[in-house]
Amino acid sequence: MSDSTPLGEFLRARREALKPQDVGLPEHGRRRVPGLRREEVAMLAGVSSDYYMRLEQGRESSPSPQVVEAVADALHLDDEAIDHLRRLTRVPQERRTLPAGHDQVNPQLLQLLDSWPDTPAFVVGPALDILARNDLAAALHSGFQRFDNLARMVFVDPAGRDFYQEWEKAAHSCVAEIRAAYGYDPESPRIIEVVENISTESPEFAELWARHNVKGKTRQTKNLKHARVGDLQIQFSAFTVNEAPHQQLVVYQAEPASPTAAAFAELRSGIEQEQREAQRIAEPTHHP
């Protein structure tokens, strides 16, 4: 992580991602810095250049709501990025830090996962750690070294490039989701640890992290490829856990009577066969 403030890093990254023509400004000659100049953002936001510079340099961390909205408008932020900016301007006492035991999953939620034997489902934490999963989710991700952290699986595990057929889309989503969680708790030791570890192993992750794009999990289609059952097209849905808003329940669904539904059934059959074999081995042998 950089020594500058999360707010300053975010503003600088989003400013550098814009071109003058993106905001209706003329572009004269060659620029020495990427994107917009600080004074251009200040002009568009209606604040002084010195004040905006102090925001980026971390010398001003609590702008008024009116200034936040003006800067967001100047930087052409979407709704999720605006919410992220608002969170970064909160004083530490107002932030939703992760409580002790935040990685524990409620027993009732665990029972719910197990009650869906035909649907892969799992629970992720803010750093995309896998906190719980049902058997079918484990079988679906069996080609990975470990089913432990989605970002590590996408960027570091060799299986990720084959499993996620739209790898770049998955990569962008992972980073943007962690960045969104980071806005709630920039001092989270677990998020910092995951970001630093994966950045060391994956320059692609580090490059995407530096863009400061923000996007929460949403309902969408995913195209996956399992080594045993082949291509899969799933409907991906994520649900916030009310009693633990830092956790999300992720559910993969297949269209009824589709090839993906048949593939899920094949994976489920394999699980049941393994369970029967394990039970047979565990049963005591009776000799006459």
- Chosen domain end from 66, 94, 122: 94
Instruction: Provide the pLDDT confidence category of residue 94 given band limits of 50, 70 and 90.
Output: low
Whether residue 206 is found in the same domain as residue 88? no
CB of 45 closer than 8 Å to CB of 73: yes
Nearest alpha carbon to residue 227 among 157, 165, 127, 142: 142
**Cα dihedral value 269, 275, 280, 281, nearest 10:** 130
Contact assessment for residue 212 and residue 232, using Cβ atoms and an 8 Å cutoff: no
Distances (CA, A) of 62 to 30, 59, 66, 83, 271: 34, 10, 11, 15, 54
Asked whether residue 137 is domain-assigned, the answer is yes
| Domain annotation covers residue 99 | no
Residue 287 is predicted with a pLDDT of: 56
User: Would you say residue 186 lies in a domain?
Assistant: yes
160 and 253 in a common domain: yes
Instruction: Compute the distance between CA of residue 209 and CA of residue 151 in angstroms, rounded to an integer.
Output: 12
| pLDDT score, position 282 | 81
Q: Are residues 226 and 125 in the same domain?
A: yes
Q: Which residues contact 41 (CB under 8 A, 6 or more apart)?
A: 11, 15, 52, 71, 74, 75
Q: Are residues 164 and 268 in the same domain?
A: yes
- Per-residue pLDDT band for 1 (boundaries 50, 70, 90) equals very low
In a domain, 1, yes or no: no
Distance from C-alpha of 205 to C-alpha of 208, rounded to nearest angstrom: 5
**How far is 39 from 42, CA to CA, in rounded Å?**
5
- Give the contacts of 50 (CB within 8 A, at least 6 positions apart): none
**CATH number of the CATH domain containing 16:** 1.10.260.40
| Domain shared by 139 and 224, yes or no | yes
Same domain, 81 and 223: no
Residues 167 and 275 in one domain: yes
DSSP string, 222-288: EEEEETTTEEEEEEEEEEEETTEEEEEEEEEE--TTSHHHHHHHHHHHHHHHHHHHHHHHHSPPPP-
Q: What φ, ψ does residue 177 adopt, rounded to 5°?
A: -70, -40
153 and 35 fall within a common domain? no
Q: pLDDT (tens digit, 9 = 90+) per residue, 14-28?
A: 999 999 888 888 876
Residues 42 and 118 in one domain: no
Token pair in block for residue 193:
């640890």
Residue that finishes a domain, picked among 94, 122, 153: 94
Q: E strands along 20-128, which residues?
A: 121-124
Angle between helices 65-74 and 79-88 (to 10 degrees): 140
Q: Across all residues in the chain, what is the average pLDDT?
A: 90
Whether residues 121 and 53 fall in one domain: no
Domain membership flag for residue 100: no
Q: 265 is in which domain, residue-wise?
A: 107-280
Shared domain check, 118 and 224: yes
Q: Are residues 132 and 267 in the same domain?
A: yes
CATH number for 238: 3.30.450.180
Tokens found for residue 39 = 């004074």
Looking at the 3D structure of the chain, how many domains does it have? 2
Q: Is residue 119 part of a domain?
A: yes
Enter the pTM of the model.
0.88
**288 part of a folded domain:** no
Q: If pLDDT is split at 50, 70 and 90, which confidence band does 61 have?
A: confident
Quick one: average pLDDT of 54-69? 91
Nearest to 178 by CA among 145, 129, 219, 137: 129
Give CA separation, 167 vs 69, 190, 196, 222, in Å: 34, 24, 21, 10
Residue 90 lies in a domain: yes
> What distance in Å separates the CA atoms of residue 230 and residue 38, rounded to the nearest whole number?
50
Provide the pLDDT confidence category of residue 29 given band limits of 50, 70 and 90: low
